[in-house]
Amino acid sequence: MKNTILRKRKTVSSLVLAATVAFSMFGTGCNKKADQDNTETSEITSSGSESTSQPDETESTTESTPETTESIEETEPTSESTRAPYQSLDDIFIRGDKDYYIPFQDPDHSYSSVAQGWAAPVRQQGSGGCYAYSAVTAMQIKYLQDHGKLIDINPVDVINRIFENADDETVYDEEKIYVESVEPTNLGGSVMDVVSVMCSEPLNGYVVSDASAFAELSNEEIKELIKEYGGLSFSVDYQRDCKVIHGYETQNYSGTNTDHVATIVGWDDDFPADCFKTPASQNGAWLVQNSFGINWGNCGYYFVSYDQNIRAFFSMEASNEYSSGISYGRFTKAQLPTAKGLSQLDETMDISRFSVEEMIAWGDMTTASIFEQEGSVAAIGAWCLFEGQPYTIEIRDGEFGDVLATKSGTFERRGYHTVKLDTPVAVSKFTVVIKIAGVGAFEGPSYDTMASTAYANNYPAHYEAKIEPGRSFVEIDGEWIDVTDKDIVKKMGLDSAIKDEQFTTVGDPCITVLFE
């Protein structure tokens, strides 16, 4: 299909564009490179030059591609050289006024993945891409925490899997977002999309194996998650109410605007309330790793007050235990309730006002995809759209043949999860059936839209989703309906809620198959 990107903005129903509250905080993350004229609050460079305050550990952390089996299907990774991560908080806060306050002195009231020896490199993004830099940082910290190894993943490789430059001669031959007249690294994006492009196709031998979304957490709950994962991606307005006070870059912003994604990597309960441009109501701050290079803030880190309203968080985990994967539905652009659930939703399509029991009572969204690949299936990846969502996964021989394996359970956290089979299953042609309560994840239709940069410049864009007859199905009233059926939207009861002319199919269900 040749490029027919529209010159004016057309959008698909909000139902398609991440309607669920679980992910909305990360669906449109616009990200900015630090502005040169912000020198009142920090030392900033946009050239990518390195600061002399970097610690003495200057050896490259670039690693060679890990040894893996020949069956791994992956693109050639972009080599990246970064200086070694900080191993000491003293090196990070070298500018801090120690007569005023020394952070992280009380181990009973502070914690940091840096102090634990689980620091990731501080990188410098372009004008955009913060979502990918934060996701990779969180991924690296968690893997280092669990396995003692700093994995080599370049955020630019991730961004280039999501976006591709296009012109009037471009053929949409891949499932991704095609953009005109702008570099992909200058665009805002979604942490969800990082998961989508890494859940089935290994990058440097690694896939995203788990990514959980969290919202409306208490400080104590956030602290427990930082201990569990080492770092959490979160949305923030990085510019407002930031200031260097007593040598510490700090922020206490009372609004709700967000334009950036960064990574929380620790906390200090005793950080002074008066060390903010707007004094806080309480002591205490989160330690945040940014992606503006080591010349920004405190060697790339800063403090965010406990007073600041942070509404959502995302954890990221990577694994190198799978040789390859398949997924027809890469991007989760359509998060669709059953017909019964749809009848109870209003035009906002907000499922958060319903209890778990009420959403389970909507009945099951049952989908299936038929695959052809020889190997041993070790795990299935699926999306959970509300906490406590029950699921059943079946591996069937051939096209809806005998059941070879089954796995049932409950997803306790929203997000993407890998379900390991009790025993790997040898397959060649096989069907994966997923029955999940209330709401299911689909890739949605192809559509024309606009992509935004950090500076609110919009560029024509096209999201391409591929579907083929005979490979993906939705069970409706006991019958398997092909997603290419021209009446699939009507048969699923979606036509009354979605009036957009571009919404002609739900697309493939988001099912990932991982091979040992």
Q: pLDDT value at position 456?
A: 64
Name the average pLDDT for the chain.
85
The pLDDT value given to residue 181:
87
pLDDT confidence of residue 84: 83
**What pLDDT score does 473 carry?**
98
pLDDT of 173 reads: 92
As to burial, measured by CB atoms within 10 angstroms (0-12 exposed, 13-18 middle, 19+ buried), residue 459 is middle
Q: What is the pLDDT of residue 357?
A: 96
Which CATH fold would you assign to the domain 27-153+208-314? Cathepsin B; Chain A (3.90.70)
pLDDT-based confidence at residue 83 (cuts at 50, 70, 90): low
Contact 257, 289 (CB under 8 A): no
Q: Which amino acid is at 362?
A: W
Q: Measure the CA angle with vertex 362, ends 360 and 368; round to 5°.
A: 85
pTM tops 0.75, yes or no = yes
Write the pLDDT tens digit of every residue in 348-391: 778 888 999 999 999 999 999 999 999 999 999 999 999 999 99
Decide: residue 67, CB within 10 A, 0-12 exposed, 13-18 middle, 19+ buried. exposed
Whether 22 shows a pLDDT value over 70: the answer reads no
Residue with tokens 């007569």: 99
pLDDT of 151 > 80? The answer is yes
Domain map of the chain by residue range? 27-153+208-314
Q: Whose CA is closest to 83, among 128, 49, 129?
A: 49
- The string of DSSP letters for 354-379 reads S-HHHHHTT-EEEEEEEEEEEEEEEE
* Number of residues that this document lists for the chain: 516
Res. 199 pLDDT band, cuts 50 70 90: very high
Helix (H), strand (E) at residue 342: helix 339-344
Q: How far apart are CA 367 and CA 49, in angstroms?
A: 50
How many C-beta atoms surround the C-beta of residue 416 within 10 A? 28
315: number of Cβ within 10 Å:
23
pLDDT tens digits along 126-144? 889 999 999 999 999 999 9
Write down the pLDDT at residue 41.
Answer: 28
The tens digit of pLDDT for each residue in 169-190 reads 889 999 999 998 899 999 999 9
Tell me what the mean pLDDT of segment 24-30 comes to. 39
Question: Which residues, in sequence order, are bridge partners of residue 41?
Answer: none
Regarding beta strands 177-179 and 312-314, do their DSSP bridges make them parallel or antiparallel, or are they unpaired? unpaired
Judged by average pLDDT, the poorest of 28-42, 160-174, 199-213, 223-237 is: 28-42
Instruction: List the one residue out of 402, 419, 320, 450 whose CA is nearest residue 28.
Output: 450
Q: Is it the case that residue 60 has pLDDT exceeding 60?
A: no
Q: What is the DSSP letter of 514?
A: E
* pLDDT reported for residue 82: 58
